[in-house]
């Protein structure tokens, strides 16, 4: 597992965010083989995970159950992300919304956090 901190500009709390995303991924399926993140603005943080699918998920995808898998994974991962209550402290911002999507063919996922910076 690699936390690739060379991709994207550094921002305060980057390693801590990567650690929490890795932990969340391990709870939901398995830790990513690679993780990178990009703070696009004070209000948007994008996290890319690569190599996250387990064998049963790959089998479901090969059988054409992509949509079922997506519908199952989205509330699971968003719920686990919301359980971590220290993101706001790490990022000095409240999380207004979380978006999660996957490219099953490439075995990757993108998490987008919409933030409200604290003053």
Mean pLDDT value across residues 106-119: 94
The pLDDT value given to residue 84:
73
Can you tell me which residue has the tokens 């994974």? Answer: 73
pLDDT at 19 > cutoff 50: yes
pLDDT of residue 7: 65
Average pLDDT over residues 6-25: 87
pLDDT band for 116, please (50, 70, 90 cuts).
very high
Q: Is 13 exposed, middle or buried (0-12, 13-18, 19+ CB in 10 A)?
A: buried
pLDDT in tens, 20-34: 999 999 998 899 999
* Contact criterion met (CB below 8 Å) for 49 and 107: no
Residue 60: per-residue pLDDT: 95
User: Residue 58: which CATH number?
Assistant: 3.30.565
Query: Can you give the residue range of the structural domain that contains 8?
Result: 2-117
DSSP the chain: -EE-TTSS---TTHHHHHHHHHHHHHHHS---SEEEEEEEETTEEEEEEES---HHHHHHHHTT-HHHHHHHHHHHHHHHHHH---HHHHHTEEEEEEEEEEETTTTEEEEEEEEEE--
Q: Tell me the whole-structure pTM to 2 decimals.
A: 0.88
Q: How many domains does the chain have?
A: 1
Q: What is the pLDDT of residues 43-55, one digit of tens each?
A: 999 999 999 999 9
């Amino acid at each position: 597992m690699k936390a690739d901190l060379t991709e994207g500009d550094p921002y305060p709390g980057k390693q801590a965010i990567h650690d929490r995303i890795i932990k969340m991924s391990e709870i939901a399926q398995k830790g990513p083989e690679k993780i990178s993140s990009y703070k696009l603005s004070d209000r948007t943080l994008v996290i890319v995970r690569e190599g996250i699918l387990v064998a049963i998920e790959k089998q479901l995808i090969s059988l054409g159950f992509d949509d079922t898998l997506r519908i199952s994974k989205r509330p699971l991962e968003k719920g686990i992300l919301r359980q971590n209550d220290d993101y706001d402290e790490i990022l000095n911002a409240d999380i207004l919304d979380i978006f999660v999507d996957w490219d099953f063919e490439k075995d990757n996922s993108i998490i987008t956090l919409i933030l409200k910076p604290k003053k």
